[in-house]
Structure 1
Amino acid sequence: MSGQSSSPGASNGITPLQQMIASCSGAILTSLIVTPLDVVKIRLQAQKTPFPKGKCFVYCNGLMDHICVCENGNSRPWYKAPGHFNGTLDAFIKIVRREGIRSLWSGLPPTLVMAIPATVIYFTCYDQLCAALRARMGSHSEEAPLLAGAIARVGSATMISPVELVRTRLQSQQQSYRELKEGISSAVKAEGWRFLWRGWGPTLLRDVPFSAMYWYNYEKGKLWLCEHYQTEEPTVAITFISGALSGSIASIATLPFDVVKTRRQVELGELQAMNLSAKASSTLSVMKTIVAESGPAGLFAGFLPRLIKVAPACAIMISTYEFGKTFFRQCNQDRLLETRGLSLDTSHT
C-alpha cells in the first residue's frame, strides 16, 4: 500500500460526517470494553485504601481520564465495597454475582457525554489535517501524521477543557445549574477566563506528545505490516496490531507526564470538593516532589496498569474506526458505480 492511500488522513471517498460516525462507533465500542477493567481497578484500590468523603480518584473509559469525587465515602460513589476481593478475576465474579453485570459499566453514561464528542472532534480533525498536510508537505509528507496528531489533540483538548471543569464541579458539589453558573461566573470575574482552562497545560504536556508519537508510529507500523503481508488494504488485524504497538510506545514515553497530570487533577478536584480555590502546584514542582518522595522511578509509577489499559484501548478504537471508514468508502464506491451505470443506460437509450 502506498503512503497516501494507506493513511487515515487520505480520506478520499469518505465524507467528514462518515468519519464522525466511524469514530463515534469506535468510541462507544472502546468504552464498553475498557470501562469494566477500570471499574474493577478502582474497586480494588478502594478496598486497599478506602475513599473518604471528598477524596478524588481517576476513572477512565478507554478514551479519556475523568476525575471523580466521593461524596459519602464508599457508600455513595459508583464503587461500593461489599465483601473482599482476592484479585482482578475474583472481583469481576463477585461484582457480577452481588450487584449484577451492569455494575461493571457504572459511571459510563455521564463520562460518554464528554468522551464521545472529544473523540469525534479529535479523529475527524486528524483525518482532515493529515490529508491537507500530505498535499502540501511534498517530500516531507511522511511527517504529516506527527504534526496532524499534535494539532488535532491541542484543538480537542482546548474545546473540551471548560466542559471538563463544569462536569467536575457538578460531581463534587450538589449544586443546581443556576448555582453552578453563578459560581463559575464569579470565579471568571475574580480569576479571568483562564479559569475555564485550569489543568489545560499539564493535559497538553502528556496528550500532545502521545498523539504525535501515536499517529506517526501507527502509520509507519501499518505501512510496514501491509508490505510484509503483501496486501494493498490494511486488514482489521493489521490496524489492531499497529494501534496496540503505537499506543504502547506512546504511553511509555509520556508516562511521567501522565503521573504528574493525574496528581494535579486529583489535587484540583479535592480543592473544588472542599470549595477551596487554592492554586494547584506547577508541573515542575510536582515532578520535584515526586522525585524527592520516590526517586526518579516515581515518575514511572503505574507503568504496567497504564500499558495494559492504553494498548487495547488504542487497538480497539483505531481498528473499529478504520473498519468503519472502509465500510463507508465501499458503500460510496458502490453507489457511484451504480449511478454511473444508470447514466450509461440512459445515454444508450
Structure 2
Amino acid sequence: MDRVDLLSKAFCQEQGGGFLRRANETQLRDIFNRYASVEQNGEKYMTAEDFVIRYLRILDEKNYNADTVRLLGSIVDTSKDGLISYAEFQAFEGLLCFPDALYKTAFQLFDTNGNGMVSFQEFAEVIQKTELHRKIPFNLNSPFVQLYFGKDKSRLVSYSEFSQFLHDFHEEYAIEGFRRADKNGTGFISILDFQEIMSSIKSHLLTSQVQSHLIEAAQISQGGGSRVSFPYFIAFNSLLNNMELAKRIYLNVTNGHRTQEVSKEEFMHSAQAMSQMTPLEVDILFHLCDVLHQTGRIVYNDLYAIAPEQYFKQITNRLAEIHAVSSPEDRGVLIQILESTYRFSLGSIAGAVGATAVYPIDLVKTRMQNQRTGSFIGELMYRNSIDCFKKVIRHEGIFGLYRGLVPQLMGVAPEKAIKLTVNDFVRDKLMSKNGNIPLWGEVLSGGCAGASQVIFTNPLEIVKIRLQVAGEIAGGAKVRAWTVVKDLGFFGLYKGAKACWLRDIPFSAIYFPGYAHAKEKFADENGYNSPFSLFAAGLIAGVPAAGLCTPADVIKTRLQVVARAGQTTYSGLLDAARKIYKEEGFSAFWKGSVARVFRSSPQFGVTLVTYELLQRYLYVDFGGTRPTGSEVKQVSHLGDVKKPNPDHIGGYSVSLPIFSGIETKFGLCLPKFSVPQS
C-alpha cells in the first residue's frame, strides 16, 4: 500500500463522523473507472483533462487553458507523473473532507514537485500564471516575500507556514497595488486607480452593487475629492474582509432583529464596545449604504447587499444539501414532524395571501361556470367574465367580489399548507442521494399533494361556491356559511369529491413539476431566483395546469351548486358529464376557463413566491431540504457550474466550492480559456 493510500486510510480512521462522510470505496472506484481514459499495466489512470474537464466540470471542454488544467490536475497528481491513479484520487477525496481543505488544496497547487514543501520558484511559477499577476504584476522581490522565503529566497516553506503566507499575501497584494499607483509616494491615489485596484485585486469581495458605486462612495467619503488616501484604502479593504463582523455588530444592536433600522451612532457604540471596527470603517460602511439606499440608517439586508456569499458559506450550504439528501433517516421522527409543522405554518400564510389576492377572479369564475344554457329558459345573466365582474360591483358592491372569502380563508390556509407540505415531503423521499429527482417523481409528488388537499378543499369549495352564487338571486335571503354547513351535514360537505380529485390530482401533477423547471430556467447565472422570477415561474406553470383541468372543475361546480327551478340536476360525476355534453355541448366543459387561468395562475404565483420567501427569510434548519435558488451564491470563474456532477460524492461533494475558494479566498484566478497565439 503506497503513501497516498495509507494517508486515505488513516484519514478514514481519524475523521469518523467529522467534517464530511467519506464515500463508499466501491462506489468511488466505479466513478473513477468511468472517467479514467488511460490504462497502463492493467491499471486505469485519469489525465488532468479527465479530472478537471470531464469530472469536476469547471472549465469549458471545447476551449480551455492547458496550463490551468495541468496546474489543477497536479493538485491531485501527487506523484507528478502526469497521471492520476485511483489511490491519488481516493486520497484527494479524503483531503477534501478535512476542515482546512481549502488551504490544503491551495498548498498542493503550489507544491508542484510534490515534496511537501513550497519553494520560492514554485510559488513564482504559479503566481505568474494567474490573471491578476498578468494585469497587476506583484513584486516578487518585495520585503514581504523575503520575510517568508528568505532574502536569498532559498528557504522552503511548510504547509502550516504557507497557509499563513496565503492568508497575508492577498492583503499585501492590495498594498502593492496602491504603491504602484502612488508613484510619487504622496499617500494618495486617484479614485480611478482605486477603482482599478479594487476591481482587479478585490473583485471577489465586491457585489455588483458596490462595484458600480465605488467611485461615488469614495468621493463622498473623501469630501468630494478626486483622490483616495492610504488610510481610507486600508479601512475599505478591512471592512470588506470583516463584513461578517459587521453583521454581528448589527445583530448585537438590534438584539437579533433583522428589520430594525440602526443609526450610525448606535452602530458605532456597539462596534466600539466590541473593540473590533474602527470609526473610519464604520464611516465607510454607512457611506456605502447611503449610496445604495440613501436612508442614513441601515438594516440587515444592506449588509448582505454589500458582502457577497463567501467560500465558507458555500461549503456550509453544500454540506446542508448533502446532509439533507444523503441521510434523511439520520433525523429523528420528532425533527421531521417539526419540519412538516414549520412548512405547514408557512404554507398556511402563503395560501391565505394567494387566495385573498385573486378571490374576485375566483368569484367571477364560479358564476360563469354555474351559468346554464339548454335547461334554463331566459336571458343569460352574464355575457362574459368582464360583464360578470361589472354586474357584481353594480348590484352587490365592491364587497360582493369577496362574498364567501372568510370560509375560503379558513379552509385555504390548511388546504394550501398540506398541499405544499406533502409535495415537499414526497419530493424529499424520492430524491436520490445526489439530490436529484426524476420527472416521474416530480409528477408523483405533485399528484400526492393534490390528492391530500381534497380533505380540506371539498368542504371549503362547496360552502364557498354556494355563497358565491347566492348573490345572483335578487332579493334573496342572505346566506351564511354556517347555515350552508348545517344544511349539508358532514357527508354533504364531500359532495363532488370525486370531481375534486379529478381536478386537483392532475392540476398538482402538472403544476409542481412545471414550477420547478420554470424556476430553474428563470434562475440567474448563480442559480439564484429573485421574487419576480419565482412569481413568473408560478404564473407560467399555472396556465397549463389550470386550463387543462377546467372540465373537471366545471363538473365539480355543477355537482356542488344547488340547482334552481328549471335547471338540470345531476346524480354523480358521470351523469353530470353526460348531461352537460348532451344539453350544452363540448364547449360547456371549458366555461370559465379564462377566468380560471387568470385566477389560478396568479394565485399560485403569489402563494409559491410567498411560501419560498418565507422559507428564505424565516429559515429554520431541520437538516432537510429548502427551496432551490433561495440564496445568492457567488460562483467563481472556475466554479461557474450551476449543479455539481452527480458523481461528486463523499469529499468531492464540496469540490466545487473548495476549488472556487482558491480563487475567491486568495484571488488566485487562473486563466480559463486558451490565449490565441499572435
TM-score interval, normalised by the smaller of the two chains: 0.5 to 0.7
Of Structure 1 and Structure 2, the greater helix share is in: 1
8 Å CA contact retained: 1:125, 1:152: yes
Instruction: Answer yes or no: is 1:306 the counterpart of 2:596.
Output: yes
Between the aligned residues of both structures, percent identity stands at 25
2:426 paired residue among 122, 129, 138: 129
Quick check: 1:205 aligned with 2:495?
no
Compared CA separation, residues 218 and 169, structure 1 to 2 (3 A): closer
1:167–1:305 distance in 2 versus 1, CA, 3 Å: closer
Q: Is 1:233 matched with 2:528? A: yes
The correspondence of residues 83-162 of structure 1 with structure 2, limited to 5 A, is: 87=387, 104-135=401-432, 141-158=438-455, 161=458
- Counterpart among 12, 31, 39 of residue 355 in structure 2: 31
Instruction: After superposition, give the CA deviation of every residue in 1:20-77 in whole Å (9 maximum; x if it has no partner).
Output: 232122122112211233456778999999xxxxxxxxxxxxxxxxxxxxxxxxxxxx
Cα displacement (A) at 1:163:
7.0
**Aligned partner letter, 1:142:** L
Q: Distance in 1 between matches of 2:599 and 2:443?
A: 23
Distance in 2, matches of 1:37 and 1:133, equals 36
Q: Which amino acid aligns with 2:609?
A: S
Deviations 1:73-117 (A, max 9, x none): xxxxxxxxxxxxx9578568768xx95x65543331122112211
RMSD between superposed Cα atoms in Å: 4.8
Partner of 2:553: 258
Alignment match of 1:329 (pick from 619, 635, 645): 619
Unaligned 5+ runs, structure 2:
1-317, 374-385, 471-477, 624-678
1:216-227 superposed matches below 5 A: 216-226=513-523
CA contact (8 A) 2:361 2:595 kept: no
2:458–2:500 CA contact under 8 A, matched in 1: no
Looking at CA atoms only, which structure, 1 or 2, has the larger radius of gyration?
A: 2
TM-score normalized with structure 2 length = 0.34
Distance in structure 1 (CA, Å) of the matches to 2:520 and 2:456: 32
Q: Which has the higher contact order (CA 8 A, sep 6+)?
A: 1
* Equivalent position to 1:282, from 544, 555, 572: 572
d(CA) in 2 for partners of 1:246, 1:225 = 12
Please, what TM-score do these two structures have when normalized by structure 1?
0.61
CA distance in 1, matches of 2:372, 2:489: 35
Q: Deviations over 1:208-229 (max 9, x none)?
A: 0011000111111111222xx3
- Larger deviation, residues 130-139 vs 317-326: 130-139
CA distance in 2, matches of 1:126, 1:219: 11
Check 1:136–1:248 CA distance in 2 against 1; reply closer, same or farther (3 A cut).
Answer: same
State the secondary structure of the residue aligned to 1:261: helix
What is the CA–CA distance in structure 2 between the aligned matches of 1:204 and 1:151, rounded to whole Å? Answer: 11
- What's the CA shift string for 1:131-180, capped at 9, x where partnerless? 11114898763332211111122122135546767899999999999x94
Unpaired segments of 5 or more residues in structure 1? 50-85, 186-193, 274-278, 334-349
2:607 maps to: 317
Secondary structure of 2:528's match? coil
Distance verdict in 2 for CA 1:45–1:94, change over 3 Å: farther
Distance 1:24 1:246 in 2: 21
After superposition, the Cα gap between the structure-2 partners of 1:202 and 1:136, relative to the gap in structure 1 and judged at 3 Å, is: farther
**Residues 308, 180 of structure 1: alpha-carbon distance in 2 compared, 3 angstrom cutoff:** closer
Q: Contact 1:122–1:155 (CA<8 Å) still a contact in 2?
A: yes
Deviates more, 1:194-203 or 1:140-149: 194-203
Rounded to whole Å, the distance in 2 between the matches of 1:47 and 1:166 is 18
